[in-house]
Chains A and B, each alone.
Chain A
Amino acid sequence: MTASFSRRMALKSAACGFGYLAFADLAARAAEKEKSPLAPKKPHFAAKAKRVIFLCMEGAPSHVDTFDYKPKLTADDGKPFSGSRFGGGKLLASPWKFQQSGKSGLWISDLYPELAKHADELCVINSMHTDVPAHPQAFQHLHTGSFQFKRPSLGAWTLYGLGTDNENLPGFVTISPPLNNGGPTNYGSGFLPAVYQGTPIGGGGFGPRGGPMTVSNIRNPRQTSTAQRDQLDFIQSLNRSALERDPANPAIEGAIESFELAFRMQKDLPKLMDISSESKETQSLYGIGEQNTERFGRQCLLARRLVEAGVRFVEITSNGWDHHRNLKDALANTTRATDRPIAGLLADLKSRGLLNDTLVIWGGEFGRTPYGQGGDGRDHNHKGFTAWLAGGGTKGGTAVGKTDEYGYEAVETKVHIHDFHATILHLLGMDHEKLTFRHAGRDFRLTDVKGNLVKEVVA
């Protein structure tokens, strides 16, 4: 037996072989009930973005050294700054120069020479703000809209709202997620059904970060694929036999389907994760083959392969952005490791016609202070920071909102995390107030009772 058994085939054999004709409409109802929760669903309204790649910069990158140009900060370098968290900080000019890039003339610092070439694709939100300047809370806030309670993640909500286009693959993949800062909560499904949670590749729940890029239990340590297919066919024959005994039990039917899906997944996923089939040119576009950019480049290329194959939501976490000290070297290193891969990702998506309907998100849990810490570092700053979006119906070449003259606090078109989430959902065709799930007697939302669409972001 080599043919795989779909649920329909299994039902058909149960129906014809055993004379359960009357059972047909019941089966249809059971099937309706068991209708895959991952099946594609229509959004609330037509929208450009069909999928998401979230480039998460864990640790909070400095906005005043990257995307938020503050000439006044340079001018007032060394002057005391009274508004600091512990009082008495000294303003620290960015060690990097800013240039206007692209036709739009967006200001981007020298830390991102490659990305700057795509300035006209970027919609830079300079007026982000969040509630708490502590990593774990802010990181979970960014991912789930809450830090007090365990809530479903942005990716889980997206998958719940839209389903997935390729049921042979997980609908939500997170690449090298952190163990701390809330760990699995950041890609968890909370009270949503477990099927919406993110599947970690490398790091995360079941393996050390930076470990092998694998998915838990994706490979059989002993059997060949053919042998396992035989075994699976035997399992399914047992299951069909169980279904005959208990024809109205959706759990058995569900098992039949989920085994097939698992088998297809373990066949397709490792293939997708093998990037060696990509051309040399493509690989080098992402900076693969160079020491600095190898890791993040591979992850970005993998992300492209995944969304191309129909995965709804892919997140990549880049860590090491918490630059309390050693800013000059460390920030230069982290940006160098990500600049070319991100630029490569945007270029590759564009050349494949995917950027139009793929929303790329870049950002961390908060930003950093314009005043220095120990002369060569910056402290946490939740009052103002930068995130950017590209593709997927965003207005490229725009800067939305402003921080004050030093970049300390968002002052114009302020965008709270809830607003950010509302806007992302909007770009995907979902009204954040209508995307709800009933749990414990209440309808929950990603944005709780908050969130406003940031219209300036939408093309």
Chain B
Amino acid sequence: MNPADLSFVAASDPLARPARASETCHRSSTAIPGPRADRLRLRKTVSVVALCLCMAVLVGTSTDISGQEPKIRPAADPEGAFKLGDTDKDGKLSRDEFAKLMANNPRVKDNPKAADFLFNRLDANGDGYLTLDEFKKIAELAPKKNSPGKKDFFKKKDQPPPTAAEPKPTAEQVAFFEKQIRPVLVSQCYQCHSEEGKKEKGGLRVDTREGLRKGGENGPAVVPGDPKKSLLVQAIKQTGERKMPPKSKLSDEVVADFEKWVASGAADPRETAKTAQKEIDIEKGRQFWAFQPTKAANPPTVRNIAWPRTDIDKFLLAGLEGKGLKPVADADPRALIRRLYFDMIGLPPTPEDVEAFAKDPSPAAFAAIVDKLLDSPRFGETWGRHWLDVARYAESCGKTANVNYPHAWRYRDYVIAAFNTDKPFDRFIKEQLAGDLLPAANDKEKAEHAIATGFLAIGPKALNERNGLQFELDVADEQIDVTSQAFLGITAACARCHDHKFDPIPQHDYYALAGVFRSTETCYGTIRFVQSQRPSPLLDLPDGSPSAITARLTDKERADIEKQIKDLQERMRQNTDPINNIFPAAQVALLRSRLDSHHADGTPKLLAMGARDKRGFGGGFEPKGPKGGFGPFGGTRTVADSPLYARGEPDKPSAERIPRGTLQVMTKAPLTIRSTASGRLELAEWIASTENPLTARVFVNRVWSHLFGRGIVPTIDNFGAAGQPPSNQALLDYLAVTFTNDGWSTKKLIRRLVLTRAYQLDSSFDRKSFEEDPDNALVWRTSPRRLDAECLRDAMLSISGQLNTEPPTGSPVAQAGEGPAGRPRFGGPGMAAGPNDPRNAHRSVYLPIVREQLPESLALFDFPDPNSVAGERATTNVPAQALYLLNNPFVIKQAEVAADRLLASSGTDADKVKRAYETLFARPPSEKELVVAAEFIDGYTKRVTKRSAWTAFTQAMMASAEFANLR
């Protein structure tokens, strides 16, 4: 996501930007079980008529219009051309004047219809004259010279048009078409059915002959010689179900003209038209920088050899020197140490830490602190949380049912541990995608591997989807989306309904991946409940795994629950109206889930979310469940290849099966996958490989962005053509290569980055550099950053001394168990104290993350929506944040406890203020600041107690911009 998209700059004038309908993806309509008449298809088809004519205009631009006349470029200089053409000086161009103007162009001269057609195109109000404004549109008809549209970058050149089998229309037929038919099509139908209108509702286009002949989703619009079979004629007659135009009716004469036209063979002179789609050219796609192998380069030479401390600095400095810029001064040690602590462990340094470093700010001292922080368990909590953003981690299924995932926390803890133990990142990938298929040395490792695959299971799910096949396809789609974006920075899921619009990913490749995930059983648990109709099994963990629930279910409790179930079932039997049974059925499901979560001996079961391969090969993917209902799962039970679904619709499978595999553009040879294996392991190995051009680049870029405030590729989750190119590709590649050479060690990478001189720059402003590089892409300074939501909350807890650094086992969601998420509904338990429990003093990473019910302390400060991959967060500045800081009881409580600590410390009031500055801002106050603080506290104390005054003072410090921002 481009940060600019989130800034208020982009938002300030929304009305100025034109819509780009052709860029709009239609994933949103894939699962609509209703009519899909207006689904669009890719707009790769190019009307060659239009193209030809536009070419004509362009040719005209490069040659003299005539020997006598001055050079005129209609597309480039419409005013000039208009003036020239307007021979009678009436301020508009008649058809004749226009034809004469265009006749100077050799291409148009040879095609008398061309001028006419262009004229009709341009004459928007159809009054037979072109105003200057109408004429100006000629520039839009002309394609950009030598610059294929971004979306067509990977597309093959147009295929030659299919040869027309129909006889050439007579001049009379052409005249009839041009006079009676074409104007009606243009004025009545183009808006929704043409290239020009940027729409092809119902898949129908009427601006080409092929389009009319082929028709849309309902069949041919025109069957030459047969008006009855021609849907177009039937629609404009408006006698049947389909009525066109939508809100009016054509006159009887016009309808008669169309009938006559079709009956007489529907002569259509627009013969150069074609509707064949352009194919993606994989070879050409491979040329795109992101799909090229990483190139290890030596650091460049720089002029200022004294400045760089590391090779990375040389790459950066070379970039700056190339623009005539230089880095700002080094950071003040206090600002630097505060920045480092928050970046590494998400917590502030103590005043003692700050003072020690201020006394000895040597590189060696800095390196020693870095090593200490890398070893802190708080490191994994901070960096693990960054990964959880990417992994769209949450503890409920979201969407309609939004029921709990009581076992999701295990994946959270796995991620934190992986960062703390510096699990090699390639290993980390393989475990998350295919941990179940990796050999395990012991039970502990086996459990770890199983939990890691929770990555595939914790996504949002529409558990009320009635169509089993649709559900299976949606789950696979979500997995493709998260896998491709998280590891590869590629939006492969865009190719579900059509070839990818920007990247060289044909729909075929999507279904190669879909086969892998559809051959996988996703184990996410959940219970059958209101709106939740698609529970799955969970994975059993070996003994010795930690458990969120420790209490045994006693025999008495079991008997009690069983009795309640029996009573409810009895009540349900007596109900005649099924509607009255919704509530008791929900009760039964909840009670039963309590029984099911314990073994017969009363000990809690050890369960995890995750994935495993389906068994055996064959079956195929045909839905077996009853159509439409919540019958037995209608998806597949075995490993198999998936068909390709036209437009992503489950009822439109191809006959051909797509072999399970990967994205061709990044693959040298197709994967070899055993017939009985899903292919997840092979997929994981393909991703977690130094051969893969994207994996290492994408990850080092993620790490870089957390430390420098901006990615080398600024679109963190999109390295494709719709993303932005790297600001310094040599550096990106250097980092990627070094990272894999270091054994994919995240800690080594982070160490490398923070030890650069660039990381340790000041954040001060420099006008010249700002003018040249306002986004600080070249790193001429440290970008000022706001603390993220977790840092802010944890810092308050840390300063008040209330922070509980002991990681909890489980989560409030795990304690609540199965059932509706968050608040109690339908007799569900709800979380004991809710997501905003002010007594919860654990680190923010351990707060319950329920979809759509995020803790206020996080949601207000731009915690990302856990429904999709979020490699970067927005930074907003809204009054709701200020209200929270001013009035929220949690904040006030932390301020009060922190004030108590201050008051209990020795020294004068001035010493206490000094202590507060050092604790919260990591610097001593200035003389002036001491005075202002003293004035505030004294003035306030006159009204209330001393404690309240100091609380107000501490809270003000916590609410201040200096506290919330890193310099």
Contact = CB atoms under 8 A, between A and B. Distances in A.
A82 interface: no
A243 B27 CA distance: 45
A42 B882 contact: no
Question: Of residues B21, B32, B464, B960, which shows the largest number of chain A Cβ atoms within 10 Å of its Cβ?
Answer: B960
Interface stretch (B75-83, B429-437, B559-567, B948-956): B948-956
A223 interface: yes
Contacts of A246: 763-765, 784, 965, 967
A205 B34 contact: no
Interface string A212-248: 0000111111110001101110110111011101111
Interface in B1-42: 1-2, 5-15, 17-21, 23-35, 38, 40
Contacts of B17: 434, 436, 438, 443
B218 interface: no
B956 A231 contact: yes
A126 interface: no
B151 to A, nearest CB: 10
B31 A148 contact: yes
Interface residues of B, number: 102
A259 B882 contact: yes
B305 interface: no
Contacts of B887: 217-221, 266
Contacts of B718: 440-441
Contacts of A441: 2, 23, 502, 715, 718, 722-723
B204 to A, nearest CB: 15
Interface in A29-57: 33-37, 39, 41-44
A234 B886 CA distance: 12
B324 interface: no
A356 interface: no
Tier of interface size on chain A: 35 or more
A228 B886 contact: yes
Contacts of A289: none
Nearest to A442: B23
Given A179-B823, A221-B889, A251-B965, A448 B29 contact: yes
B14 A160 contact: yes
B878 interface: yes
Contacts, number: 275
A33 B8 contact: yes
Interface stretch (A94-102, A104-112, A188-196, A345-353): A188-196
Contact of B19 (A251, A374, A445): A445
Contacts of B35: 131
A149 B940 CA distance: 50
B965 A261 contact: no
Contacts of A42: 15
Contacts of B7: 33, 193
A354 interface: no
Contact of B767 (A26, A34, A252): A26
A254 interface: yes
Contacts of B881: 258, 262
Contact of A435 (B15, B888, B955): B15
B940 A231 contact: yes
A37 B33 contact: no
A449 B40 contact: yes
Contact of A231 (B21, B34, B889, B955): B955
A455 interface: yes
Contacts of B961: 238-239, 242-243, 251-252, 255-256
A280 interface: no
A230 B34 contact: no
Contacts of B879: 170, 258-259, 261-262, 265
Nearest to A226: B943
A40 to B, nearest CB: 12
Given A131-B33, A192-B11, A438-B10, A254 B877 contact: yes
Contacts of A247: 765
B5 A136 contact: no
Interface in A140-170: 146, 148-151, 160-161, 170
Interface in A406-439: 413, 430, 433-439
Given A131-B33, A448-B29, A443 B19 contact: yes
Nearest to A259: B882
16 contacts: A26-B767, A33-B8, A192-B11, A194-B880, A199-B880, A220-B886, A220-B887, A230-B940, A237-B932, A242-B961, A246-B965, A254-B877, A413-B247, A433-B21, A440-B1, A449-B21
Given A131-B32, A241-B962, A441-B722, 18 more contacts: A37-B11, A41-B15, A136-B400, A183-B852, A195-B8, A217-B880, A218-B883, A218-B887, A220-B886, A245-B967, A254-B877, A255-B877, A258-B881, A262-B886, A324-B579, A374-B577, A442-B24, A443-B23
Interface of B: 1-2, 5-15, 17-21, 23-35, 38, 40, 199, 246-247, 399-400, 464, 491, 502, 531, 577, 579, 715, 718, 722-723, 763-765, 767, 770, 784, 786, 823, 825, 836, 852-853, 856, 859, 862, 865, 867, 874-884, 886-889, 892, 929, 932-933, 936, 939-940, 943-944, 948, 952-953, 955-957, 959-962, 964-965, 967
Interface of A: 22, 26, 33-37, 39, 41-44, 131-132, 134, 136-137, 146, 148-151, 160-161, 170, 179-185, 191-196, 199, 205-206, 208, 216-223, 227-228, 230-232, 234-235, 237-239, 241-243, 245-249, 251-252, 254-259, 261-263, 265-266, 324-325, 374, 382, 413, 430, 433-445, 448-450, 452, 455
